[in-house]
Amino acid sequence: MPKKMAAAVLYGKEDVRVEEVDIPSLAAGEVLIRVEAALTCGTDAKVYRRGYHARMITPPTVFGHEAAGTVAAVGEGVSEFAPGMAVVAANSAPCETCEFCRAGRFSLCEDLLFWNGAYAEYARIPARIVQKNLLRLPEGFPFRKAAIVEPLACAVRGVAACRIAVGQDIAIIGAGSLGLMLLQLATRQGARVVVADRKQGPLDVAMRLGAAAVVLADEGDLPELLLDRSPGGRGFPLVIEAVGRVETSAAAVAAVRKGGTVNLFGGCAAGSNLTVDLQRFHYQELSLIATFHHTPASVREAYRLIVEGVIDADNYIVGEVGLSQLPGVLADIAAGRRIHKTIVLPRSAK
């Protein structure tokens, strides 16, 4: 076993360096995985732009949280995993003892434990995640396809919370990877989905993945264009916002019909405020809901969808790079030049 590895280290705002660092040592219950494939995520691009993440990351640190790999070593007391096994880890695990966990609201856990460090040759998975959210992959299953388990688990929860009916008309705002996952899960439940985005490229993918129609719109005219596409021009019974901006959240509220539901699925920055016409909200009995993150159950459902080939990560993957190219890729995502996911191969010479 080598002692050193290559890893991307986040130092601060737009400062990521690929360096040689120590391979993490293991405490009891922990597992070291050799990362075979990591995927970029919009959250990592946000972290790159801001230089930190309030709940997940304080620099300098390794980061990245979507990865699949091979078990390289196990800590004391680990019996379910052994070196050589192919695995995928979710990026967190709840405590299962706090008030929220006891009520089954695992994404609201007061002690949600995060794991980071996917952009490295090796990654240490904390004991609690090993116990609750490390899953063994079938022999030979492609690592890059498995690595999508975390975002897909969030999408699984987002769609489940919306209680979609067969034949229901839905609008999804945002055709990023998560918007597309929401689209595929909603159409599987029999919904007729209209997808809106500012860029044509992602909308072409949405059409290929089963969107009934797409709306190419800037934020300004988005509500009007969505209403035009809604049944009878009266709005959609369900609108899912998958961007995480005030303007698109406002458009979602504008495009929902009487008695309808808006799911604010995208996460906005602190201090983002949305103004809602409360008269309309009350007399039209609108529902505003939000779903954040995943739970051990939605992680398992996402795993099943991936392994059974229902959801194929390749639909959201736009390229493949080695670690050295990661800083440039993150800059591209942060600037909106690269919308979907890039595979990062930590042991590639690229």
Contacts with Zn ion by CB under 5 A lie at 41, 43, 94-95, 98, 101, 109, 151
Closer Cβ to Zn ion, 151 or 223, answer by number: 151
* CB closer to Zn ion out of 44 and 241: 44
What is the spatial distance between Cα 114 and Cα 349, in angstroms, rounded to a whole number?
29
DSSP state of 16: E
The distance of closest approach from Cβ of residue 78 to Zn ion in the complex, given in angstroms and rounded to an integer, is 22
Under 8 Å between Cβ of 121 and 346: yes
Task: Find out whether 288 and 264 touch, Cβ atoms under 8 Å.
Answer: yes
271 CB-near residues (< 8 Å, 6+ apart): none
How many residues in total does the chain contain?
350
Instruction: Give least dist CB 102 to Zn ion, A.
Output: 8
Cβ of residue 66: shortest distance to Zn ion, in angstroms? Answer: 5
Cβ 99 to Zn ion, closest distance in Å?
A: 8
d(CA 226, CA 86): 44
| Closer residue to Zn ion, CB minimum distance, 286 or 339 | 339
Look at residues 230, 226, 283 and name the one whose alpha carbon lies nearest to residue 251: 226
Beta bridge partners of 344: 38, 321
Cβ proximity to Zn ion: between 284 and 315 the closer is 315
Nearer to Zn ion, 109 or 146 (CB): 109
Nearest approach, Cβ of residue 144 and Zn ion (Å)? 14
- Beta bridge partners, 197, equal 216
